[in-house]
Amino acid sequence: MSASSPVELSATIARTAELLRGRRIALLTGAGISTDSGIPAYRGEGSRNRSDPMTIQRYLGDEAARRRYWVGGHLGWRSFAQAEPNPGHLSLAGMESSGHVSGVITQNVDGLHLRAGSSHVIEVHGTMRRVLCLKCGQVFDRRDIAVQIEERNPWITVPENVALAPDGDVLPESTDGFIVPVCTVCEGMLKPDVVFFGEYVPQGRFKAAESLLRASDAMIVAGSSLVVNSGVRLVERARRRSIPLIIINREPTRADVWADVTIAAGTSDVLPAIQELLE
């Protein structure tokens, strides 16, 4: 079942809550849950087109591309880090504390679920909070790398109007003269702890997501178009177990045909409404 008019939406949310009542719910969230926090999605409403996203191959093999990434990433991260959890994030944290939600599997790297108070969060695509050395394996706090960037490049400033991308990146006008940060232990190449285009989700993270799903008896997909294969694979596992599947997304997704309920509305409206009915 799906919803279109406000009356139908309200009725569908009520039926969804009844379907979920008494069940432990696993959440799979995508960029759409964070658009109301000012972070654009990759696709659909609230998205910002990226014609040339950074791939792992370019990052590792092209010094100019790597320099461009760090300039844009630094400028965008300053605004990215100021985003606050919205009602969708907060409702999931509330439902977890009351026992309705078993945990959140998120494709986002913004950390907003943790900041909202969710404790069982699996960040399958990594996080912008950490930076890794690809040579020695040292892990750094992103804030420390930001300090290094600004010390090495004192001319860099944060624009008042930064055009954010979903991974905290922006397109800078110039990268001339920019000095990229390096590992302070071995001077090796650094990379944010996020899965770039062309990379695979680390096996341990995906297994943790599968484990959370196995411990649940219902699944909600919130704010994801399910274009990325890791999300589709998890939905397939829920489908094979024949547990209730609810999809909340403004646009159609690849898995709508499998869903028990599809709700074409914003997560900031629907998730708090489900929480209220369950509690």
Cα–Cα–Cα angle for 25, 30, 32, rounded to 5 degrees? 110
Non-local CB neighbours of 131 within 8 Å, separated by 6+ positions: 139, 140, 141, 142, 145, 181, 190, 191, 192, 193
Number of C-alpha atoms within 13 angstroms, CB side, residue 10? 2
Whether 113 is catalytic is: no
Phi, psi of 58 (to 5 degrees): -70, -40
Q: Residue by residue, what is the 3-state secondary structure of the chain?
A: CEECCHHHHHHHHHHHHHHHCCCCEEEEECHHHCHHHCCCECCCCCECCCCCCCEHHHHHHCHHHHHHHHHHHHHHHHHHCCCCCCHHHHHHHHHHHCCCEEEEEECCCCCHHHHHCCCCEEECCEEEEEEEECCCCCEEEHHHHHHHHHHHCCCCCCCCCCCCCCCCCCCCCCCCCCCCCECCCCCCEEEEEECCECCCCCHHHHHHHHHHHHCCCEEEEECCCCCCHHHHHHHHHHHHHCCCEEEECCCCCCCHHHCCEEECCCHHHHHHHHHHHHC
Q: Which among 74, 89, 113, 125 is annotated as catalytic? A: 125
Q: How many residues does the chain have?
A: 279
Q: Which sequence positions are flagged as catalytic? A: 125
